[in-house]
Amino acid sequence: MESLRVALGERSYPIHVGSGILDATALYAPHLPAGSAAVVTNQVVAPLYLPRVKKALEAAGARVAQVVLEDGEQSKRWTSLERVFDALLAARCGRDTLIVALGGGVIGDLAGFAAAIYQRGVALLQVPTTLLAQVDSSVGGKTAINHVQGKNMLGAFHQPRAVITDVATLDTLPERELRAGLAEVIKHALALDLPFVEWLEKSIDSLLARERSALVYAVRRCCELKAGVVAADERESGVRSLLNFGHTFGHAIEAGTGYGAWLHGEAIAAGMVMAAELSARAGLLAAADVHRVRSLLSRAGLPVTGPALGTERLLELMALDKKVARGRTRFVLLEAIGRAALRADLEERQVREAIVAAAQ
């Protein structure tokens, strides 16, 4: 096991990355001073890992409640949040309860939002079981549910007490989900770290083969990059927005196709191609580098063209993006491979051209 730390003063917390650590009681015990916990998970993850996590919590002295939700992006909504609150209240969970998010990004976001607002805020522990959640959504304190008009429109910043990441859980991850998680790995590299891009270009086949050493390295490196960004900009007022490379386009794809038709990572992959094409049209990125972005995503088995929503519909949906400021959509673009920047000075013509180019 390897551990690193998100440095946020009194709210700093560890990220533990390893193989076979899911039921290590010693990792849970420090976060259970009152001995009460509630595990939030879904119908796919529960039969695989809930008994092990519950046993570890009970071994640490906790009284454990559980909430099992439907799987998929469609469950990231108010009705699911209410089910969590109903279960917490039925189990008489107080303000000293630890909520444990056991699952992928949907569970992490939803359970985190529940922790942020239940009785004005309770402790949260993230136990991600998908690659996407392990490298991105479990770290940084972003929690949310979706609104019909936009992704993650309702939420709060709520940092966890710790993140426990066991890459062995990826053994049961469907191939499509693994590839979707690789989109977020690639995003971290393209936005922040050229040497990591070069490593990915050499190691993508090892990651697809689920080689443990490669997975541990990729997860740890993504967490290192994100921890540094979160420590510098917790509330996303500056450098943290660079981790949204591809997301302005990607979130529009998700909203336009109905949440769940495209996995988050698939939409972000297509969004990164659009953002790379836009970077080229803004005079920032060479055509050869746009090809490099496409090639890496394609080798990971990810879509490099978006759905046939049409340019007008994409523009309409992007106007609802959270990065819109003073009526202008801001885009995270690449100044070079491994170096992203936030730009708000794009012409609509350039955005349209990028969408069309990405479809070819």
Catalytic positions, please? 120, 142, 184, 226, 236, 240, 244, 247, 251, 264
Q: How far is CA 277 from CA 196, 201, 359, in A?
A: 21, 20, 10
Q: Are 35 and 183 in contact (CB under 8 A)?
A: no
Within a 13 Å sphere around the CA of 140, how many CA atoms are in the beta-carbon half?
Answer: 28
d(CA 307, CA 258): 12
Q: Are 175 and 147 in contact (CB under 8 A)?
A: no
C-alpha closest to that of 268 among 155, 149, 166, 188: 188
d(CA 360, CA 355): 9
Q: Are 151 and 111 in contact (CB under 8 A)?
A: no
Dig out the tokens for 96 from the structure: 């000293």
Pairing outcome for strands 123-128 and 98-103:
parallel
C-alpha closest to that of 314 among 260, 283, 359, 279: 359
Q: Are 321 and 275 in contact (CB under 8 A)?
A: no
C-alpha closest to that of 332 among 321, 344, 347, 320: 344
Dig out the tokens for 22 from the structure: 């899911």
d(CA 147, CA 41): 21
